[in-house]
Chain A
């Protein structure tokens, strides 16, 4: 289809021109991301306050999480952010195959991330650190030496917040997969062109936001006084 036809077909009836439509959709996406900031913000605020109240228990609980996998996951997610950004770039230039390639790469990296996350959850399950009736926290000697005031009941709060925050983040990634697969299908049909690519950009903004949430989760949850 020639460019003008796609433009007419794609321009919604209540917008004056494509420029207004694109600006409106991206501004709308940013307002939605502000609600996501406040949504995760409530959890971060609860985490911050409990961390101040029970620092030693939080530090002890955090020391049982393998920081190596957390770092690898951060790198994986940053790579997926890169591939997502390049996908948006490809959509802007109308390169259909490159767009679909990068979208699939983003999905793959996301999959790797969730795989590592599942492994970490499994480790926690094995160590009985999943909050609930089966929860049991063993205070190892070197932990007790480094952090004096460890209270096993308070470590359960850390793990509750750990599973809630990383679980909410993982849920947002699964939603991201849904959006990305929809983009892959529509992209391979050539729906996106240099004139109309705002859906790709919207999902890009969403994906980068999910990456930012992890950028904050990694130091807050994994790096509580790891020094010896």
Chain B
């Protein structure tokens, strides 16, 4: 069950537990070559179930929620870093990856399982336009109120540098 070529016994047993628990839910589980990061690829419909399972397995907080934009493949990849404060398990970080439709990226919020995701999800919403359904407070976080562009972290957002003497905001 565990991935071949991994020397760390703890990671091996963690991988086998993950494989056992999540076999039906996810499409892929693998550790990277540094043996510290476990990547899990999952369909976005299953992400809530996966979150609950992972919580049950001791991964109790979210380190980051973000996305990667792939405009050519017309998808946004949700990237959630999950970690744990529990001993041994805390040595490893799980990166949940899930493909979203780039035109209408919607995904259920993870705050119901991990309240720590709240501000990260707000950031991902304003930067990538990923809508987190049922998020308690999905507002802008970092961007100014008068910002008019859309989803600045996407690849097709044009960066306009301000010319000398130009008084207006560069995004206008």
Is A bound to B? no
Interface of A with B (CB < 8 Å)?
A: none
